[in-house]
Structure 1
């Protein structure tokens, strides 16, 4: 799969059932995804496989993710949003 198709798939996966998640994911993909390392891109793609309620809890700080890579990706996205 080419990079363009892959990025389109990722954009599509960023469209969630919760507006709060869309507001986090869509700008991150547009502005920061291309600069991620291969490992970070893989972690982001795994993050997108999580259920919306879990994602919401992680991003809102109601719950902590047990997966270190996903937890780091949540922090990276939140840090980017806060800038």
Structure 2
């Protein structure tokens, strides 16, 4: 597994083209990223590589993410406990 990104690069990757995504990602990174496991960091960084329209659909609940690791991370970022 690749080494997790440095926090400055993750912050930059969280700057998206959609305010709705910025409002979710930036506070999450500031509060939780450094305390996450390397595995979770890698999943989060990989999630950030997805396109904005796809992320928007998943985070706003318009579509269900089929990747189970991404789906779990989406729940964490949204701040809602998994059912």
**Match status 1:70 vs 2:63:** no
> What TM-score, normalized by structure 1, do the two folds share?
0.87
Counterpart of 1:26 in structure 2 is: 26
How far off is 1:79 after superposition? 1.7
Measure the CA separation in 2 of the matches of 1:38 and 1:68: 17
Measure the CA separation in 2 of the matches of 1:47 and 1:59: 11
SS of 2:25's partner is: helix
Superposed, which structure 2 residues align to 1:26-65 within 5 Å? 26-65=26-65
> What TM-score, normalized by structure 2, do the two folds share?
0.87
Structure 1 residue runs of 5 or longer lacking an equivalent are none
Measure the CA separation in 2 of the matches of 1:16 and 1:36: 22
Q: CA RMSD in A?
A: 1.5
